[in-house]
Amino acid sequence: MTLREIFAANLKAHRKAQGLSQEDLAHRADLDRTYISALERQLYSASLDVIEKLAAVLAVPPAALLRLPEETGPG
Amino acid sequence: MTLREIFAANLKAHRKAQGLSQEDLAHRADLDRTYISALERQLYSASLDVIEKLAAVLAVPPAALLRLPEETGPG
DNA sequence: TGTGACTACGGTGTATACTCGCCAAATTGA
DNA sequence: TCAATTTGGCGAGTATACACCGTAGTCACA
């Protein structure tokens, strides 16, 4: 399980939990739609700046996007 | 407090906690020495792949590098 | 004084993150 | 079946992450 995979899964899960389409999320995070699609397919290694933007829109601590689902705790 | 700042502080703290120099860390993580220096000075937005490498060397969950010091919990 | 360990900092080159435009496949719902 | 929404995929361009080389500064200690 690579960090890309974990991040991709968390991104998709939180996005759907918020009822957002890739396009919605992209627009709110000021990112490109196709890039969100690519992130969920693990084509890119997202940077801290992007992680920060996405976490803000998804209303979760940035660290939450790097954790496995079974793990708990803040951030 | 940007995510870059948090990451930079955590990177430096964990590196020193392990008694590693920037060069030691760079070598073990298969990264460049000057790049580690730059990360600690917040010049770059590290990617997931780099975060994964550094976390492995520092023996901490990747998510731990994105959390504020006062926060607790796994990963 | 000077020597070694560590780090800041510069320039340059390459790899890759990220944007943008467009079209096709898939999904959803009337 | 049709239309609307969502997502995948690709080519091309720009921005930036990251590697590699060197130099200089700081600090500890002989």
pLDDT of res. B70 = 67
Whether A2 sits with its Cβ under 7 A from any strand C atom: the answer reads no
Of the candidates A50, A71, A75, which has its C-beta nearest B66's C-beta?
A75
Nearest to B28 by CA among B17, B36, B40: B36
The residue extents of the domains of chain B are 3-66
Mean pLDDT across chain A: 94
Cβ partners under 8 Å of residue B23, min gap 6: B33, B36
Q: Which CATH class is domain A3-59?
A: mainly alpha
| This prediction's pTM | 0.94
State pLDDT tens for residues B23-56.
Answer: 999 999 999 999 999 999 999 999 999 999 999 9
**Cβ(A49)–Cβ(B47) under 8 Å?**
no
**Cβ(B62)–Cβ(A70) under 8 Å?**
no
Q: Which CATH class is domain B3-66?
A: mainly alpha
Q: How far is the CA of B41 from the C1' of C1 (A)?
A: 33
Nearest to A36 by CA among A25, A28, A47: A25
pLDDT of res. B48 = 98
Q: Is the confidence at residue A75, as pLDDT, over 60?
A: no
Verify whether the Cβ–Cβ distance A4 to B48 is below 8 Å. yes
pLDDT band at A68 (very low <50, low <70, confident <90, very high): confident
State pLDDT tens for residues A1-32.
Answer: 999 999 999 999 999 999 999 999 999 999 99
